[in-house]
């Protein structure tokens, strides 16, 4: 009797599974959208390339092959249409449920980024917005500068030693320490110790992979790991970054008598003004999210700048000339380095799709209509490498494109920090760091890779952070050209 019931159960399962596959392939409202066969019946095509670490390149290839609309999962369509950013990211659409995973370390720690309802997200962001305004961040400029000075001292020592160095690691150390200063008025000591303190950086790669895949199976994550019990055991994959943040924030709460405001100050004021709406747990969650975002995105941006400058003929000399000319004729700040903007376009930190839900009544983009509830996503890499938008040299590093008359038009499609109501709140911090560090690198140093033909290594999970491209550093005595 039991074997017969087992056989019947298996038959029912196979039948049900087959019907789901048939419906997704032949009867789904998005059945006519082209793409890989596996993507038309499941999420597994996308998951395979996330795990492989090449989803960004594969998505570019799909759009090259199929055009503006590509089915990347049974319920998701990737969009590269010129109107896509305006109609998907700049519109108040609900985010897909994948974002709910970004409540770290468990579901209690909600942040604006993990909130999918646009109205609730905007309301939650309102309490934290003051900490991210440019005017308030500029109050931390001296502290940011002191961290950069510490980084430059390391560069000088590296130049004196004439030995190959791992610039990628120290750019990440710098990003972490600046985040500590801006958030908590306390750097973490990465630069001082010259190592990954608390394994916060080493752990981030696996956390990236875990987040980018398990976000599609959040219920499994909540049951197994993302719950208060597992948080109390301190064995979470997010444990290192969360522990680093908690220690810094605990120290910060016990030392509120300081001479300047930092980001956490503004958040604590919001908590005091809005009791019951902003909890201390919300501050911990926001700080953890900010730490993870700051370290990965800034490190990627800075590395991309140096890496592609080294691969572009005479880039260092050309950018130095442009800065000197701008200073001489227009009085512009030394911090203006447009090549860093181009580096972010060619190799940006966000490799994951940015998914939204089609609203009631559906959404029409170009000549294509998508029914309500369809997941429509924009991928920054796809948009940044579109030849339709950027020209035939879209896949090339070309800082000159930002000096042309139509550069303002290109800004519509430039999205390293996202666009719309869910754009990165810490992008002002990133701009301050990038402008200061890249300008100093251009003006004061010559940098070259040990092996100019060696490609760096990276994996495109939630974000993409390159590594393993050792360099030589040379201090410039003046405005001479490099002897290299």
How would residue 94 be classed by pLDDT, with cut points 50, 70 and 90? very high
Given a contact cutoff of 8 angstroms between Cβ atoms, the answer to whether 171 and 248 are in contact is no
- Residue 121 CB neighbours (<10 A): 21
Q: Indicate if the pLDDT at residue 268 is higher than 50.
A: yes
Segment 154-169, tens digit of pLDDT: 999 999 999 999 999 9
Q: Indicate if the pLDDT at residue 6 is higher than 70.
A: yes
The residue with tokens 């930002």 is 402
Residue predicted with more confidence, 235 or 45:
45
What are the Cα distances from residue 24, in Å, to 50, 223, 425? 22, 28, 37
Given a contact cutoff of 8 angstroms between Cβ atoms, the answer to whether 413 and 390 are in contact is yes
Q: Indicate if the pLDDT at residue 260 is higher than 70.
A: no
Strand partners, 73: 76
Rounded to the nearest integer, the mean pLDDT of the chain is: 89
Segment 216-252, tens digit of pLDDT: 999 998 998 888 888 887 766 555 667 778 888 888 7
**Dihedral angle sign, alpha carbons of residues 170, 172, 176, 178:** positive
471 is in an annotated binding site: no
Segment 422-437, tens digit of pLDDT: 998 888 888 888 989 9
* Calpha distance 167→470 (Å, rounded): 7
Look up residue 422 and give its DSSP letter.
G
Segment 142-154, tens digit of pLDDT: 889 999 999 999 9
State residue 140's pLDDT score: 85
What the block records as the tokens of 471 is 């360099």
Q: Indicate if the pLDDT at residue 360 is higher than 90.
A: yes
* Calpha distance 280→284 (Å, rounded): 6
How would residue 259 be classed by pLDDT, with cut points 50, 70 and 90? low
Residue predicted with more confidence, 354 or 404:
354
Q: Indicate if the pLDDT at residue 334 is higher than 70.
A: no
The residue with tokens 């449920």 is 97
State residue 481's pLDDT score: 44
Given a contact cutoff of 8 angstroms between Cβ atoms, the answer to whether 160 and 154 are in contact is no
57-61, 317-321, 413-417, 445-449: which range is least confident on average? 317-321
What does pTM read for this prediction?
Answer: 0.92
Q: Indicate if the pLDDT at residue 328 is higher than 90.
A: no
State residue 196's pLDDT score: 87
State residue 482's pLDDT score: 46
Q: Indicate if the pLDDT at residue 484 is higher than 70.
A: no
State residue 187's pLDDT score: 87
The helix or strand, by DSSP H or E, that contains position 192, with its residue range, turns out to be helix 190-193
Gyration radius of the chain's alpha carbons: 24
């Amino acid at each position: 009797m039991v074997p017969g019931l087992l056989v019947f159960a298996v038959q029912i399962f196979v039948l049900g599974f087959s019907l789901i596959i048939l419906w997704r392939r032949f009867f789904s409202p998005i059945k006519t959208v082209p793409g890989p066969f596996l993507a038309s019946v499941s999420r597994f095509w996308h998951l395979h390339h996330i795990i492989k670490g090449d989803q960004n390149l594969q998505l570019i290839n799909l759009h090259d092959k199929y055009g503006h609309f590509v089915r990347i999962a049974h319920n998701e369509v990737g969009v590269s249409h010129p109107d896509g950013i305006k109609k998907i990211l700049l519109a108040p659409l609900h985010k897909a449920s994948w974002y709910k995973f970004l409540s770290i370390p468990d579901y209690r720690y909600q942040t604006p980024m993990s909130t999918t309802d646009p109205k609730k997200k905007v309301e939650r962001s309102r309490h934290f917005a003051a900490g991210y305004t440019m005017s308030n961040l500029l109050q931390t400029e001296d502290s940011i500068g002191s961290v950069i000075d510490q980084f430059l001292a390391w560069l000088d020592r590296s130049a004196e030693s004439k030995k190959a160095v791992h610039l990628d690691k120290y750019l990440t150390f710098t990003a972490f320490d600046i985040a500590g200063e801006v958030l908590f008025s306390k750097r973490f000591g990465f630069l001082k110790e010259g190592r990954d303190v608390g394994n916060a950086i080493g752990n981030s790669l696996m956390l990236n992979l875990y987040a980018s895949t398990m976000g599609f199976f959040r219920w499994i994550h909540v049951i197994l790991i993302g719950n208060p019990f597992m948080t109390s055991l301190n064995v979470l994959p997010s444990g290192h970054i969360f522990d680093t943040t908690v220690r810094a924030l605990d120290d910060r709460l016990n030392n509120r008598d300081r001479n300047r405001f930092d980001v956490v100050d503004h958040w604590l004021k919001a908590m005091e003004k809005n009791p019951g709406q902003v909890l201390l747990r919300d501050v911990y969650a926001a700080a953890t999210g900010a730490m993870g975002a700051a370290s990965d995105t800034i490190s990627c941006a800075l590395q991309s700048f140096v890496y592609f400058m080294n691969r572009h003929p005479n880039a260092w000399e050309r950018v130095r000339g442009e800065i000197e000319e701008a200073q001489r004729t227009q009085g512009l700040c030394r911090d203006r380095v447009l090549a860093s903007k181009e580096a972010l376009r060619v190799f940006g930190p966000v490799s994951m799709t940015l998914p939204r839900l089609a609203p009631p009544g559906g959404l029409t983009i170009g000549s294509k209509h998508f029914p309500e509830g369809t997941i429509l996503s924009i991928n920054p890499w796809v948009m940044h490498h579109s030849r339709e938008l950027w020209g035939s040299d879209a896949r090339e590093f070309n800082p000159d494109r930002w000096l042309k008359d139509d550069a303002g038009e290109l800004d519509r499609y430039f999205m390293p920090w996202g666009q719309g109501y869910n754009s990165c709140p810490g992008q002002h911090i990133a701009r301050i760091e990038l402008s200061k560090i890249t300008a100093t690198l251009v003006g004061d140093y010559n940098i070259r890779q040990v092996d100019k033909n060696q490609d760096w290594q990276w994996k495109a999970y939630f974000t993409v952070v390159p590594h393993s491209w050792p360099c030589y550093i040379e201090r410039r005595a003046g405005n001479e050209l490099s002897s290299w």
